[in-house]
Amino acid sequence: MKIITTKENLLYGIQTVQKAISTKNTIPILSGILLKAKDNRLFFSATDLEIGIQCSVPVQTLSEGEVVLPARYFSELVRKLPETKITLEYIPENIEVKINYGDAEVNLKGWPGEEFPVIPELEGDYSFEIQPILLKNMIKQTIFAVSIDDTRPIFTGALFHIEEDILNLVTTDTHRLAWRKAKINLLNENKYDLNLIIPSKTLNELARIIKEDEPILVKGDQNQISFQTNETRIISRLIEGKFPNYKQVIPNNYNGLIRVKTKTLQSTLERASLFVNEKDGTSIVKLVIKDQTLNISSKSDVGKVDENIPIFFEGQEIEISFNAKYLLDVLKIIEEEDLIINLTGSLSPAILQTANHDNFIYLILPLRTSA
Amino acid sequence: MKRKIIHVDMDAFYAAVEQRDNPELQGKPVVIGGRAKSRGVVSTASYEARKFGIRSAMPLIEAYHRCPQAIFLPPNLVKYRWVSQQIMEIFSEFTPLVEAISLDEAFLDVTGTERLFGEAVVIAKRIKKRIKDELNLTCSIGIAPNKFLAKLASDLEKPDGLVVITEDDIQSKVWPLPVGKVWGVGYKTAQRLEEFNIKTIGDLAGTHVDLLARILGNWGLEAHKLANGIDNRPVLPEREAHSIGHEMTFDVDISDKEILTRILLELSQNVGFRLRRAGLKGRTIVLKLRFADFKTITRNHTRLEETNFDDVIFEESLNLFQSNYSGQESLRLIGVTVTGLVKENEVSKQFTLFSDNDDKFEELYKTLDQINIKYGKNTIIRASLLNDEK
């Protein structure tokens, strides 16, 4: 393998695949990046066997071939290279790569390319297309609610529930739930009713690296899923298990409706959550809704905050407490000016939506405070 | 100002409480720890049983061989804790500086209380009288200028003793004692010291600190100070509990994962029970393993939410156990502790989707605890623990 390329292209490739590089030391070659030169493109691949990422950049290929380089040294080196023409050549007898820039030369030992695990092409029981901007938004609007506690692995991932041509993206840590709907473009005639649980890391990576405008092709089976565009491909294992019926937990009837300015509520909550409880790091806010006023208060050993916000309110006077973080996480990603909060009772879920969209819905469970 | 420290040590506490409450046991050898031929160790032996050579921490089976006619009883910790509380209350009437080091032992700092209650000796006598009159139990008391000497003193004339050690007595009363009496000098350390011909506390006091540092490491300096009667540790009044834990030392090292898992369950139950009795919940579960070669590791996991449920404590400690114990080396001790404690009624309850109902569990535990308090520990236990009770 021998190619001519630029620092920028190498860096792009490394940064795209780097999160898939294994951080465990069990299989040494997985701490490397596979470089493969073919048809004037350089393909980068990395995998920790849970997630695999592949991308390619244009290069001038003098001879085709492949090699695995230790990711840490290779990326450190590339970062420190000058902005000049760079030649990479694989020397099979030494299992090393010769990197030339200007009249300098660096040799870096690696592994033969054929020893790297193949990142499979999935045939796929299902396949559909989705717009990259849309998918990125959907991820951003739901990923914060995944669980970080791996005692129940299904909640550390996000549910893709595909009903006909609707993708329901659902996340929950059992204290709150985020549900975002969108239309997808099905690529075959199958009747879809699929439940796939995708690790949150995969979706975070997807949101990070997808930059192109063309639709993302999603396909896979019950064990693996892949997302691909012309230049980039992510393949990930799915989390095993059955996601509970999320639709069932959304209340049908409400007995209180609040309409409030998103930003006003957000700033108030940010102030109210400043004085966190030292013991467990959570800050609890109490909401008292009465007439056309929302009173928000919080207190801890450090101090207390008490504010009133004018709102539109329909329903009976109510008092309800929440973990402030759960409310703020939602408010931070809502761009609409007006927020609707539906309440069913002091000890029952609150539903947050925006005034103009019904394609996302947030459910937050309250706290019963100690006194 | 010279300090006046009192160390109170109840005489054969567990056994004495049982004998007090059951006239049939009085004057008889009583061994608290468990059934005669079971695997456990002696927790307390009555003075009558001690005449047969039965000592604390001795395997029950050995105790049985020494004195087959002894009465073997399982410990009733709920009762002992209750009596202990009554004792501690008596102490606290004399000084706020009471440090309970176990159910049957405490330090009292009575420095400067002479005008209020009289000399330390007078206080000690009053404490002994009150414990005898009100609780019908005896104790041994040591009085000294520091904790180390006070504890040595209380041990000198057991049972029902009262010994004062002043700085002038160190040479005559303390130095002739074997080194094993020094805090932290166990059987093995004592053996090492004996190799250097250090047999008494006086020998230890006379040994150069450099040599002690070589024999005992960092601890050498500390031991040297203690031997010379120097101990500046303050009496720390009972703080709010920071952790609640239980551990079990095996008389025979164990590597059988099934047995160890059962012990974990038992320990978790004990910890959960005590947490609930104290009205506490904790977030961090700590597992302690001591291997046959005395190497000790502790591993912990912090949960997102506080708990005091046996099941959760067990599940967490079992996870830690499974990921930290290969089964190749045998263990001599295993322990479960919950830390990061908060008062139960100060924990806000975050409601949860898709989970078993916690409230049901709360009710369940409340009921179980009530039954076990009323009818005795282990009236209701898990089926998997029944094997032990054959």
**Domain ranges within chain A, ordered by starting residue:** 2-115, 126-246, 250-364
Residue B1, chain A, CB below 8 Å: the answer is no
- Give the per-residue pLDDT at B389: 45
Closest-approach residue (CA) in chain A for B355? A174
What does DSSP say about strands B280-291 and B296-307: parallel, antiparallel, or unpaired? antiparallel
Q: Say how far residue A316 (Cα) sits from the centre of its chain.
A: 38
CB neighbourhood size of B74 (10 A): 16
Per-residue model confidence as pLDDT tens for chain A (371 residues):
999 999 999 999 999 999 999 888 789 999 999 999 999 999 999 999 999 999 999 999 999 999 999 999 999 999 999 999 999 999 999 999 999 998 999 999 999 999 999 888 888 789 999 999 999 999 999 999 999 888 789 999 999 999 989 999 999 999 999 999 999 999 877 778 899 999 999 999 999 988 878 899 999 999 999 999 988 999 999 999 999 999 999 998 888 999 999 999 999 999 998 887 655 667 889 999 998 999 999 988 788 899 999 999 999 999 999 999 999 999 999 989 999 999 999 989 999 998 777 789 999 999 987 65
Residue A276, chain B, CB below 8 Å: the answer is no
Answer whether B351 sits within 8 Å of A365, measured CB to CB. yes
User: Out of A363, A365, A371, whose CB is closest to B352?
Assistant: A365
Inter-chain CB pairs, A–B, below 8 Å: 46
Higher pLDDT, B237 or A117: A117
- Give the per-residue pLDDT at B176: 93
Answer whether A284 sits within 8 Å of B355, measured CB to CB. no
Answer whether B348 sits within 8 Å of A368, measured CB to CB. yes
User: Out of A149, A284, A321, whose CB is closest to B304?
Assistant: A149
Answer whether A172 sits within 8 Å of B354, measured CB to CB. yes
**Nearest CA to CA, how far is A175 from chain B (Å)?**
5
Q: Is B363 a catalytic residue?
A: no
Closest-approach residue (CA) in chain A for B316? A151
Higher pLDDT, B197 or A190: B197
Residue B283, chain A, CB below 8 Å: the answer is yes
Answer whether B353 sits within 8 Å of A172, measured CB to CB. yes
CB neighbourhood size of A296 (10 A): 23
Answer whether B351 sits within 8 Å of A347, measured CB to CB. yes
CB neighbourhood size of A166 (10 A): 13
Give the type of residue at B271.
Answer: V
| Domain range A250-364, CATH architecture | Roll (3.10)
Q: Provide the sign of the torsion angle of the four alpha carbons A338, A344, A347, A348, taken in this order.
A: negative
Residue A280, chain B, CB below 8 Å: the answer is yes
Three-class HEC string of chain B: CCCCEEEEEECCHHHHHHHHHCHHHCCCCEEECCCCCCCCECCEECHHHHCCCCCCCCEHHHHHHHCCCCEEECCCHHHHHHHHHHHHHHHHCCCCCEEEEECCEEEEECCCCHHHHCCHHHHHHHHHHHHHHHHCCCEEEEEECCHHHHHHHHHHCCCCCEEECCHHHHHHHHCCCEHHHCCCCCHHHHHHHHHCCCCEHHHHHHCCHHHHHHHHCCHHHHHHHHHCCCCCCCCCCCCCCCEEEEEEEEEEEECCHHHHHHHHHHHHHHHHHHHHHCCEEEEEEEEEEEECCCCEEEEEEEEEEEECCHHHHHHHHHHHHHHHCCCCCCEEEEEEEEEEEEEHHHCCEECCCCCCCHHHHHHHHHHHHHHHHHHCCCCCCCHHHHHHHC
Q: Which percentage of chain B shows pLDDT scores above 90?
A: 40
- Give the per-residue pLDDT at B221: 84
Answer whether A177 sits within 8 Å of B353, measured CB to CB. yes
The answer to whether A195 and A222 have CB atoms below 8 angstroms apart is: no
The answer to whether B105 and B87 have CB atoms below 8 angstroms apart is: no
Cα–Cα distance, A54 to A65 (Å, whole number): 16
- A126-246 with A250-364: one CATH topology? yes
Higher pLDDT, B367 or A138: A138
Tokens encoding A235: 């393949």
Indicate the domain borders of chain B: 5-12+78-170, 14-77, 175-227, 238-385
Three-class HEC string of chain A: CEEEECHHHHHHHHHHHHHHCCCCCCCHHHHEEEEEEECCEEEEEEECCCEEEEEEEECEEEECEEEEEEHHHHHHHHHHCCCCCEEEEEEHHHCEEEEEECCEEEEEECEEHHHCCCCCCCCCCEEEEECHHHHHHHHHHHHHHCCCCCCCHHHHEEEEEEECCEEEEEEECCCEEEEEEEECEECCCCCCEEEEEEEHHHHHHHHHHCCCCCCEEEEECCCEEEEECCCEEEEEECCCCCCCCCHHHCCCCCCEEEEEEHHHHHHHHHHHCCCCCCCCCCCEEEEEEECCEEEEEEECCCCEEEEEEECEEEECCEEEEEEHHHHHHHHHHCCCCEEEEEECCCCCCEEEEECCCCCEEEEECCEECCC
Residue B11 has pLDDT above 60, yes or no: yes
Answer whether A175 sits within 8 Å of B346, measured CB to CB. no
Per-residue pLDDT band for B240 (boundaries 50, 70, 90) equals: low
Tokens 């820039």 -> residue: A101
The 10s digit of each residue's pLDDT in B294-340 is 788 899 998 878 899 999 999 999 999 999 998 888 998 899 999 88
**Nearest CA to CA, how far is A367 from chain B (Å)?**
4
Q: Catalogue the long-range contacts made by A160-165 (C-beta closer than 8 Å, 24 or more residues apart).
A: A160/A194, A160/A195, A160/A196, A160/A197, A160/A198, A160/A225, A161/A194, A161/A195, A161/A196, A161/A243, A161/A246, A162/A126, A162/A128, A162/A192, A162/A193, A162/A194, A162/A196, A163/A192, A163/A193, A164/A191, A164/A192, A164/A193, A165/A128, A165/A192
Cα–Cα distance, B90 to B88 (Å, whole number): 5
**Nearest CA to CA, how far is A52 from chain B (Å)?**
27
The answer to whether A351 and A250 have CB atoms below 8 angstroms apart is: yes
Residues 6+ apart with CB under 8 A from B367: none
Cα–Cα distance, A180 to A141 (Å, whole number): 7
User: Out of B283, B349, B354, whose CB is closest to A174?
Assistant: B354
- Classify A126-246 by CATH class: alpha beta
- Exactly one of B18, B48, B99, B105 is catalytic; name it: B105
Answer whether B342 sits within 8 Å of A279, measured CB to CB. yes
Answer whether A249 sits within 8 Å of B342, measured CB to CB. no
Conformation bin of residue A161: beta by default, left when phi > 0, alpha when psi is -120 to 50: beta
- Give the per-residue pLDDT at B239: 58
- Topology of domain B175-227 in CATH is DNA polymerase; domain 1 (1.10.150)
Report how far apart the first and last C-alpha atoms of chain B are (Å, whole number).
58
Least reliable range by pLDDT among A195-199, B17-21, B209-213: B209-213
Answer whether A365 sits within 8 Å of B347, measured CB to CB. no
pTM above 0.90, yes or no: no
Residue A365, chain B, CB below 8 Å: the answer is yes
- Topology of domain B5-12+78-170 in CATH is Alpha-Beta Plaits (3.30.70)
Q: What is the CATH number of domain A2-115?
A: 3.10.150.10
Residue B151 has pLDDT above 60, yes or no: yes
Of the CA atoms within 13 Å of residue A104, those in its CB half-sphere come to 9
B300 φ, ψ (degrees, to nearest 5): -135, 160
Name every chain B residue with its beta carbon within 8 A of the beta carbon of A327.
Answer: none
Name every chain A residue with its beta carbon within 8 A of the beta carbon of B346.
Answer: 370
Q: Which residues pair with residue A323 across a beta bridge?
A: A284
Conformation bin of residue B118: beta by default, left when phi > 0, alpha when psi is -120 to 50: left
Cα–Cα distance, A188 to A192 (Å, whole number): 10
Residue B390 has pLDDT above 60, yes or no: no
Q: Say how far residue B338 (Cα) sits from the centre of its chain.
A: 17
What does DSSP say about strands A65-70 and A32-38: parallel, antiparallel, or unpaired? antiparallel
Residue B355, chain A, CB below 8 Å: the answer is yes
- Region B75-98 average pLDDT: 86
Q: Say how far residue B12 (Cα) sits from the centre of its chain.
A: 13
Cα–Cα distance, B265 to B287 (Å, whole number): 12
Residue B357, chain A, CB below 8 Å: the answer is no
Tokens encoding A133: 């901007």
Answer whether B354 sits within 8 Å of A367, measured CB to CB. no
Tokens 């040494």 -> residue: A28
CATH superfamily, domain B238-385, is DNA polymerase, Y-family, little finger domain (3.30.1490.100)
User: Out of A174, A363, A366, whose CB is closest to B355?
Assistant: A174
**Nearest CA to CA, how far is A105 from chain B (Å)?**
47
Q: Provide the sign of the torsion angle of the four alpha carbons A220, A224, A227, A231, taken in this order.
A: negative
Tokens 């990142």 -> residue: A119
Interface of A with B in 86-125 (CB under 8 A): none
B88 φ, ψ (degrees, to nearest 5): -65, -30
Residue B348, chain A, CB below 8 Å: the answer is yes
**The domain defined by B14-77 carries CATH number 1.10.3720.10:** no
Average pLDDT of chain B to the nearest whole number:
86
Residue A156, chain B, CB below 8 Å: the answer is no
Name every chain B residue with its beta carbon within 8 A of the beta carbon of A280.
Answer: 283, 306, 342
